[in-house]
Structure 1
Amino acid sequence: MFFARTPEKTDMQDTTLRTPQLAAWLAGTDIGLLELRTPEGTLRLGRQGDEIVELPDEEAEPELLNIHAPSLGVFLQSHPMATTSLVRIGQRVEAGQIVGLLKIGPLLLPVTAPQAGIVDNIHADDATAVGYGAPLFDLHPL
């Protein structure tokens, strides 16, 4: 039989006291960052080289990365032969993944994610003419 334990004010203190043990466990994995949040605070452990260190709490959200049109053309959210969009808001994408297309005459030019992230916003409507450098997507970097 298992019993749920309600969080107490000592939870963050207990976590802080166990930091060396948590760091040792983290060192035995391929995890790059461990973040524990409680109402009393946050503990962040991460890799710096071969060592596991306590990292400062990052309260600020990371800046959004804008993905711009690499050329002028007609922005397409899906391939003309497909019925589903290449990406949706909230979707995780990998570096180099095609997130949209630019139609330039008969040519389809891929628009790719420069790094891994979460799609936060799509600025251009489907089948809209866009100019070089027009903002197409916002990406939360991972």
Structure 2
Amino acid sequence: MRPDQIQQIAGWLAATDIALLELRGPGHTLLLRHDGAAVERITPGDEAPIDVPAAPDPLTVSAPSLGVFLHRHPLRAEALAAAGSAVQAGQVLGLLQIGPLLLPVAAPADACVIELLADDGAVVGYGTPLMVLQLDTPA
């Protein structure tokens, strides 16, 4: 690989948040490390291990009060948050019906709904697990 090509690739790498770039071709390997400030070429075998942050533990959303848990609004056909759907902080995941009152159960953070624990129409008490969320990892 020519030096001008390596410089161009290093420039592209500097504009990203990629920490280590490895390019392999017939008979050669190019390793570039980006530490956030500079890009340097390293020889194979000298690369430091890169810490990959672990995914956060799943979060269980619990009932804030007693009532009847609803997956959807009574006037709508679609669920507020189905399993596998992405939700944003503050988005309504379900409703807790207490007499004529519908109390929203909101997502505490940006996440993905992994599992619905309470059935639609289930009578729940304070602290009853309603659903499990996988929090989004920060970019």
TM-score (normalizing by structure 2):
0.66
What is the root-mean-square deviation of aligned Cα atoms in Å? 3.2
Kindly provide the amino acid, as one letter, of the partner of residue 96 in structure 1.
Answer: G
The residue correspondences of 1:6-17 to structure 2 (distance < 5 A) are: none
- CA positional deviation for 1:55: 5.5
Kindly provide the amino acid, as one letter, of the partner of residue 15 in structure 2.
Answer: W
- CA positional deviation for 1:112: 0.1
Matched, 1:108 2:98: no
Matched, 1:122 2:112: no
- CA positional deviation for 1:62: 2.2
The residue correspondences of 1:47-86 to structure 2 (distance < 5 A) are: 56-58=51-53, 60-86=54-80
Residues 106 and 46 of structure 1: is their aligned pair in 2 closer, same or farther, counting only changes over 3 Å?
farther
Q: Which runs of 5+ in 2 are unaligned?
A: 1-8, 23-33, 39-48
- CA positional deviation for 1:20: 7.2
- CA positional deviation for 1:61: 3.6
In structure 2, the residue matched to 1:99 is 93
Residues 46 and 81 of structure 1: is their aligned pair in 2 closer, same or farther, counting only changes over 3 Å?
farther
Q: Which runs of 5+ in 1 are unaligned?
A: 1-17, 27-32, 39-44
Are the equivalent residues in 2 in contact too, given 1:69–1:136 (CA < 8 A)? yes
Which secondary structure state, in structure 2, belongs to the residue aligned with residue 70 of structure 1?
coil
15, 34, 42: which one aligns with 1:25:
15
1:97-141 deviation line (CA, Å, top 9, x unaligned): 000000000000000000000000110000000000111111111
Residues 133 and 46 of structure 1: is their aligned pair in 2 closer, same or farther, counting only changes over 3 Å?
farther
Kindly provide the amino acid, as one letter, of the partner of residue 140 in structure 1.
Answer: Q
Residues 81 and 25 of structure 1: is their aligned pair in 2 closer, same or farther, counting only changes over 3 Å?
same
In structure 2, the residue matched to 1:88 is 82
Identity, % of aligned pairs? 43
Which secondary structure state, in structure 1, belongs to the residue aligned with residue 15 of structure 2?
helix
Q: What is the aligned residue count?
A: 108
Please identify the structure whose Cα radius of gyration is greater.
2
1:72-112 deviation line (CA, Å, top 9, x unaligned): 00000000011110011111100000000000000000000
Matched, 1:140 2:134: yes
How far apart, CA to CA, are the structure 2 residues paired with 1:112 and 1:46?
38
- CA positional deviation for 1:35: 8.4
How far apart, CA to CA, are the structure 2 residues paired with 1:101 and 1:108?
6
Kindly provide the amino acid, as one letter, of the partner of residue 52 in structure 2.
Answer: D
